[in-house]
């Protein structure tokens, strides 16, 4: 969501996402993997504020949105050239030839190394914010093409779809309406995982599954059936690499959720809840149990 404060400043909310379904179809010649995934944006947001810098300076200031977020992120937010926000700035400058500058303030609430795509969402927000602030006038297709250069999840956020089936590396977006709002409870343990390492330990399926039946169940409002069809091919390798993921799976087995699965390449784990009340009740229960494990969120899908 882009909010123009005045002609020299704008603010963008960058949502996290959950993968309700993730199949690894094949290894690609370019080193990436062919995927089919159902992604849903959720109401856990980073906030980025962009202020025009007439001297051409590029500056980024990071801060955590809460003490819990800072502790779970080990206190440090990367602000060097590997930061996806700064990569997005540099890519947009190269693509358009602009020499305009910007000061960026990033308020970080989405955990790092969590499978929630916070970095990718921040990169998408940067492309959207600067396209507006710098008055570049790039159409959505051009922004999506640039976003795909930054990361496989970036085009999803640029599509502004509450939910979508994404294919290829993730850059082929098929928005889908899921009907009513979905509610989830998420646990992000203290440990994180490298996306590259998880994929390296994953073998593509010999008989790939499709998210079609899951999408249909959600559209029909049949949460019990949808819960049984949640799936993540990266879950098994992630459990081998991180005991906390397998511990969360066992813990969610004992909760009255409709279904549960890891998001993305982990380590966040979530349950699909019947309604908002159940999500909030389980959030309280998990916080009481897992004070040593990390962060707990009750969230809903963004329609």
Question: CB atoms < 10 A from the CB of 247, how many?
Answer: 16
Query: For the whole prediction, is pTM greater than 0.75?
Result: yes
| 206-210: average pLDDT | 93
Q: Which of 174, 206, 237 is the last residue of a domain?
A: 174
Q: Which of 174, 199, 214 is the last residue of a domain?
A: 174
Statement to judge: residues 190 and 264 lie in one domain: yes
pLDDT digits (tens, 9 = 90+) for 88-108: 999 999 999 999 999 999 999
pLDDT digits (tens, 9 = 90+) for 20-31: 999 999 988 887
- Helices 140-150, 118-133: axis angle to 10 degrees equals 140
Statement to judge: residues 165 and 206 lie in one domain: no
Instruction: Say which of 3, 17, 30, 82 is annotated catalytic.
Output: 17
Torsion of CA 285, 286, 290, 291, to 10 degrees: -70
More confident site: 82 or 111: 111
Rounded Cα gap, residues 160 and 149, in angstroms: 18
How sure is the predictor about 292, in pLDDT bands with cuts at 50, 70 and 90?
low
The pLDDT assigned to 31 comes to: 73
Q: List, in order, residues 6 or more apart from 207 with CB less than 8 Å away.
A: none
Whether pLDDT at 178 is above 80:
yes
What residue numbers bound the domain in which 237 lies?
178-300
Q: Return the CATH number at 195.
A: 3.30.70.890
Instruction: Say which of 46, 108, 153, 188 is annotated catalytic.
Output: 153
Statement to judge: residues 78 and 167 lie in one domain: yes
Nearest to 154 by CA among 78, 85, 104: 85
Whether 3 sits among the annotated catalytic residues: the reply is no
Whether 153 sits among the annotated catalytic residues: the reply is yes
Average confidence score pLDDT of the chain: 92
Q: List, in order, residues 6 or more apart from 49 with CB less than 8 Å away.
A: 5, 9, 10, 11, 104, 105, 107
Statement to judge: residues 7 and 93 lie in one domain: yes
CA distances from 172 to 35, 166, 218 (A): 10, 5, 21
Statement to judge: residues 139 and 255 lie in one domain: no
What total of structural domains would you count in the chain? Answer: 2
The answer to whether 213 and 228 have CB atoms below 8 angstroms apart is: no
pLDDT digits (tens, 9 = 90+) for 240-274: 999 999 999 999 999 999 999 999 999 999 999 99
């Amino acid at each position: 969501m882009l909010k123009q404060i005045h002609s020299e400043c704008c603010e963008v909310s960058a949502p996290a996402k959950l993968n309700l379904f993730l199949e690894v179809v094949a290894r690609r010649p370019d080193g990436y993997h062919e995927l089919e995934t159902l992604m849903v944006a959720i109401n856990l947001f980073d906030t980025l504020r962009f202020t025009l810098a007439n001297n051409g300076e590029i500056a980024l200031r990071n801060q955590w949105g809460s003490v819990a977020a800072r502790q779970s992120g080990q206190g440090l937010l990367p602000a060097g050239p590997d930061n996806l926000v700064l990569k997005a700035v540099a890519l947009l400058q190269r693509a358009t030839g602009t020499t305009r500058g910007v000061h960026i303030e990033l308020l970080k609430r989405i955990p790092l190394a969590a499978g929630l795509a916070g970095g990718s969402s921040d990169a998408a927000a940067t492309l959207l914010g600067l396209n507006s602030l710098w008055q570049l006038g790039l159409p959505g297709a051009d922004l999506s093409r640039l976003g795909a250069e930054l990361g496989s999840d970036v085009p999803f956020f640029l599509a502004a779809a509450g939910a979508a089936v994404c294919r290829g590396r993730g850059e082929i977006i098929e928005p889908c309406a899921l009907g009513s709002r979905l509610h989830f409870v998420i646990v992000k343990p203290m440990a994180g995982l490298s996306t590259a390492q998880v994929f390296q330990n994953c073998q593509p399926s010999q008989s790939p599954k499709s998210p079609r039946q899951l999408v249909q169940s959600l559209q029909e409002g049949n949460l019990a059936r949808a819960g049984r069809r949640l799936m993540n091919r990266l879950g098994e390798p992630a459990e081998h690499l991180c005991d906390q993921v397998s511990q969360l799976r066992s813990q969610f087995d004992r909760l009255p959720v409709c279904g549960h699965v890891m998001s993305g390449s982990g380590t966040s784990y979530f349950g699909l809840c019947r309604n908002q009340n159940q999500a909030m009740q389980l959030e309280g229960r998990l916080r009481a149990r897992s004070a040593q494990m990390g962060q707990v969120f009750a969230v809903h899908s963004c329609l």
